[in-house]
């Protein structure tokens, strides 16, 4: 594994549909590191799906669990970690990632994000009459924060292998 990484977790951040899970899985295989998906770990820990957590306990409760799960995963050392789109917005999580890991923002445009999330209906934040407007608002709010990641890579549709290589080259 690369020197820049030196056993630190590689943490993928970015909006829903940016390709964090898909690229993360391939990147892990490419680097010979284990892959973990924070959303899946949260669902396992809670014994319920993310939409159900949002519905039954609310977003704030989900964020508390997300913060704890990511903190635990960051302490596992050299893994590739896909985080949920909102995780890096949490100040405590950002500090923990800066301390323990290397962050990579997979940056994508609105069209790419919308095309990808249309395929999966399991995102509570987009279950409203104007998911595209929501996505635009999230881009405005979150991109300035994602921009503080250690590495920024453009993620375009149908080019996962290129994205993987761009991340590897940037490490």
How far apart are alpha carbons 5 and 75 in whole angstroms? 14
Query: Shortest gap between Cβ of 13 and ligand S3P (angstroms)?
Result: 9
* Close Cβ partners of 144 (under 8 Å, ≥ 6 residues apart): none
Residue 123 in marked binding region: yes
| Cβ distance to ligand S3P smaller for residue 4 or 16 | 16
Residue 142 in marked binding region: yes
Which DSSP string do the residues of 98-154 spell out, in sequence order? HHH-EEEEEE--HHHHHHHHHT----GGG-SS-HHHHHHHHHHHHHHHHTTSSEEEE
Query: Shortest gap between Cβ of 28 and ligand S3P (angstroms)?
Result: 16
| Cβ distance to ligand S3P smaller for residue 20 or 107 | 20
Residues that bind ligand S3P (CB under 6 A): 16, 20, 39, 50, 84-86, 123-125
| Cβ distance to ligand S3P smaller for residue 50 or 80 | 50
CB 81 within 8 A of CB 11: yes
CB 104 within 8 A of CB 12: yes
Residue 39 in marked binding region: yes
Residue 130 in marked binding region: no
| Cβ distance to ligand S3P smaller for residue 2 or 61 | 61
Residue 21 in marked binding region: yes
Residues annotated as binding site for ATP?
A: 17-22, 123
């Amino acid at each position: 594994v690369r020197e820049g990484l030196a056993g630190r977790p590689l943490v993928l951040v970015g909006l829903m549909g940016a390709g964090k899970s898909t690229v993360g899985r391939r990147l892990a295989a490419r680097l010979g590191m284990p892959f973990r998906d924070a959303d899946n770990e949260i669902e396992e820990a809670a014994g319920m799906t993310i939409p159900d957590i949002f519905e039954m306990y609310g977003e704030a409760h989900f964020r508390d669990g997300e913060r704890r799960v990511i903190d635990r995963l960051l302490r596992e050392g050299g893994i590739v970690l896909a985080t949920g789109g909102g995780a890096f917005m949490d100040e405590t999580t950002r500090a923990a990632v800066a301390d323990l890991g290397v962050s990579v923002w997979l940056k994508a445009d609105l069209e790419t994000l919308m095309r990808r999330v249309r395929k999966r209906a399991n995102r509570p934040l987009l279950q409203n009459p104007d998911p595209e407007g929501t996505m635009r608002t999230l881009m405005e709010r979150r991109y300035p924060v994602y921009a503080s990641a250690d590495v920024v890579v453009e993620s375009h549709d149908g080019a996962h292998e290129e994205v993987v290589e761009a991340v590897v080259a940037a490490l």
